[in-house]
Structure 1
């Protein structure tokens, strides 16, 4: 998500407006607000299914640690398998159209879960298949989503748009899990998934009503797929700052996935939380992410966006430590500690994400946006299905809590690539002209 060098230099934004003029408020941009509203509902629905699927697996289908690992791996395998070619394909297509089709596929696939449950034939392998299909559609949706904003708003509005979209995601995280826990307790986990189906349909309608300024690349501007993939990888790894950001994010995702894969078993079996309490915990923890999204502009102003990247990375890596400590506490104290841990973690992650995603968007030419995002997602999300499998195997071999400690100790190392990098010597990150 970025503008071209010309747009950053100068004179015209993506819609032909004067980039030097003050950017109008996004609240008055009906086009952006329409898309934003649809994505708010979509993010809310995603929170429901993220709680309902593992609860269904653990409580209704009595999944083992290994099976929970397989389920989590299936949901993220697409980033490893199709992540790179998806970026090249998306750069050849209209990104808003890709998102519409992805919403349709996700809604249809998730409908199968309550249908199979009502027929009395739902099994774990069904969840693996549904998670895999939804994961593939999510790859195409997310890469397109991160590449769409520059074709909707002016260059000076990109950071504001990212902040609003991230704030909405955190609001969904604030309310979604608690409501999801209530829905699971009230109508069962399989039926709660129907709420997510409804939100994906609403997202489709909002995207159909949105207008962007994107034009499809001309056929003569296309190279063979393997060359376009390589061009995206060269762009990402040719920038020393991006290389360090990718390394920190990949290590963080690798180690945190070891922890969060086994979270349903840790919460529901070891700590004895109910689905409702688990959902409430996630919702309260999301307050930190919301505060992080709101605070990022002020923190950038105070510390500079370059220094904010290592500072926030240190924060979210240290925030992992209280998670496994909850195992030795009584239930009320464990709940309070996990809420505080979730708040600190969410705050650090959101500050880091808004800052580094805005940098990526700003320096990347429009023709490379899809491949840039896909290349980074391949690296930083591609490790997650492997980590989920490892979590299942380690949980079976060593136990859940020792596996949580392995992931937590590893998370402390994740900040090193940006902490020992050149970020401290800078205040602001370079723009397209300097990258």
Structure 2
């Protein structure tokens, strides 16, 4: 149901109570956990199906990943405008239902023997498009449910659930594709989205939103307001640029990485799933650290140091050879460190963004940062595939990993690096 006539107050129903004592927050957390598990399973299932079963080459794998990421560029800004106009619960349950249906259809097509690359491209695009709306909606939903001084703890809990999904998703996806079949793996992802649908639809609190009974053209004006707000705020502008640099390079890294593991190191599908899943325990630790370290040492120093070390650790991967125990352990260590520090950066950045943004701008600011930060990922995936074909996976992986270091450099040269233990209040702007 669209917007109501009263503005969001920004005061959640929890007061000073523990978040876990409120049933609505628990339902959001359970639903988001299931949704993230479905998403992380599908992100591994589709590429591994293409590489191991359909024998996709580097260019085809890069194109498949680019198709799944293209909705970020195409739909993020529209998603932000819609999230600020609609109840987040409505958008989340609709996107969960859509992703369950898309992956369920892929499972049926696989059983019938007609799940080829064109079908994978279609499913990847559909899941990616719906995930754009879900991701913006759940971030805005948290702000409407909790007090601002609870955002770090709330984000820590939600990002911790995403970490749990990173633990189970890649391992489950890789194991199911390798041991059983792609249809079974796709069906498992569909089940997770269905569970998320059932949990989130039970959230009882009725959201109050700003009045938005406006003409369709007003949507584009609201998108412009979000872009302008982010462009004028130095911290948010830096977050956009640093995120864009990281995500572009990381997309290229992952395309080369998914080729490097089976073709250069000769890892099995199960071993690949376990290696990729190592980011999960690290991310879980990073979520716990994010609830403590910024308030103790300062948000700026935590952001810059964690980003520099976490991104730099990937430079060691191209030096590995063979599929022995030492190589696997080294990959597990790399992914664990990357997951820990990367999640520490993610949670801290999200707290900064949510704290400095007025309630009526939350959806549009989140979408603008997603648009700028993640919009170049399809190009990064294509570049990773091109470099792997041209230079080989080892050289392309090293080059792309070096590019990730531009992100901490941008943060170090910005006011983000000087943020202290407490964060500034939001700037009220017109047109919220």
TM-score, normalised by the number of residues in structure 2: 0.92
Q: Distance in 2 between matches of 1:423 and 1:366?
A: 21
Q: Please name the residue that 1:321 is paired with.
A: 315
Out of 5, 11, 14, the position equivalent to 2:11 is 14
Map 1:329-368 → 2, pairs under 5 A: 329=322, 331-368=324-361
Give SS of 2:249's match. Answer: helix
Q: Is the 8 A contact 1:84 1:378 kept in 2?
A: yes
Give SS of 2:291's match. Answer: helix
Give SS of 2:407's match. Answer: coil
Q: Is the 8 A contact 1:252 1:414 kept in 2?
A: yes
User: Gapped runs of 5+ residues in structure 1?
Assistant: 1-5
Question: Is 1:68 equivalent to 2:61 in the alignment?
Answer: yes
Q: Please name the residue that 1:29 is paired with.
A: 22
Q: Please name the residue that 1:377 is paired with.
A: 370
Q: Distance in 2 between matches of 1:127 and 1:293?
A: 33
Question: Is 1:229 equivalent to 2:223 in the alignment?
Answer: yes
Q: Please name the residue that 1:398 is paired with.
A: 391
Q: Distance in 2 between matches of 1:16 and 1:133?
A: 35
Map 1:20-419 → 2, pairs under 5 A: 23-220=16-213, 224-326=218-320, 328-329=321-322, 331-419=324-412
Q: CA deviation at 1:119?
A: 1.5
- Once the two structures are superposed, residues 150-199 of structure 1 have per-residue CA deviations (whole angstroms, 9 ceiling, x without a partner) of 22222322211110111111122123322333322332122111011011
- Once the two structures are superposed, residues 214-271 of structure 1 have per-residue CA deviations (whole angstroms, 9 ceiling, x without a partner) of 2243235777222211110111111111111221111011111111023222112221
Q: CA deviation at 1:94?
A: 1.1
Moved over 4 A (4+): 220-223
Q: Which moved more, 1:203-212 or 1:378-387?
A: 203-212
The count of residues paired between Structure 1 and Structure 2 equals 421
Give SS of 1:82's match. Answer: helix
Question: Is 1:431 equivalent to 2:425 in the alignment?
Answer: yes
Q: Is the 8 A contact 1:61 1:123 kept in 2?
A: yes
Q: CA deviation at 1:277?
A: 0.8
Change (3 A) 1:179 1:218: same
Q: Distance in 2 between matches of 1:198 and 1:339?
A: 28
Q: Distance in 1 between matches of 2:40 and 2:416?
A: 34
Q: Distance in 1 between matches of 2:83 and 2:13?
A: 23
Q: Distance in 2 between matches of 1:403 and 1:199?
A: 35
- Once the two structures are superposed, residues 334-361 of structure 1 have per-residue CA deviations (whole angstroms, 9 ceiling, x without a partner) of 2111111111111111111111101111
Q: Is the 8 A contact 2:278 2:339 kept in 1?
A: no
TM-score, normalised by the number of residues in structure 1: 0.92
Q: Distance in 1 between matches of 2:242 and 2:329?
A: 29
- Once the two structures are superposed, residues 110-135 of structure 1 have per-residue CA deviations (whole angstroms, 9 ceiling, x without a partner) of 11222122222221111111101111
Q: Distance in 1 between matches of 2:301 and 2:428?
A: 18
Q: CA deviation at 1:285?
A: 3.2
Change (3 A) 1:220 1:189: closer
Q: Distance in 2 between matches of 1:27 and 1:402?
A: 47
Q: Distance in 1 between matches of 2:91 and 2:145?
A: 15
Q: Is the 8 A contact 2:279 2:340 kept in 1?
A: no
Q: Distance in 1 between matches of 2:31 and 2:156?
A: 16
Q: Is the 8 A contact 1:93 1:217 kept in 2?
A: no
Change (3 A) 1:86 1:423: closer
- CA-based RMSD of the aligned residues comes to 2.1
Q: CA deviation at 1:29?
A: 0.8
Q: Distance in 2 between matches of 1:212 and 1:406?
A: 49
Change (3 A) 1:306 1:389: same
User: Gapped runs of 5+ residues in structure 2?
Assistant: 1-6
Q: CA deviation at 1:50?
A: 1.8
Q: Which moved more, 1:59-68 or 1:239-248?
A: 239-248
Q: Is the 8 A contact 2:242 2:408 kept in 1?
A: yes
